[in-house]
Amino acid sequence: MGEQTNKKPGAETKRPRIAKGMAQLQLGEAISTKQANISQLEKGKLNPSVEDFEKVAPVLGIEAKELFENMKLHSQA
């Protein structure tokens, strides 16, 4: 049985952002939001909408569904 985690979908934006060499400020500017919002998103303190993921994912070079798949994979590890 996999270990349960409290990861939220927004928390899964950090890994691809860092892999792309992008700062929170850069991601925020790319989707017209503040760096503080990106920080809260990555900490799992914001509940993003599907539309939010559809904005973030292409900037990170991934599909929105990957954010949810990654969350599921990490919770099963």
Sorted by where each starts, the structural domains of the chain and their CATH numbers stand as: 9-76 (1.10.260.40)
- Please state, in angstroms and rounded to a whole number, the distance separating the CA atoms of residues 56 and 27: 8
Q: What is the pLDDT of residues 24-37, one digit of tens each?
A: 999 999 999 999 99
Q: What is the pLDDT of residues 43-57, one digit of tens each?
A: 989 888 889 889 999
- Please state, in angstroms and rounded to a whole number, the distance separating the CA atoms of residues 47 and 9: 8
pLDDT of residue 35: 98
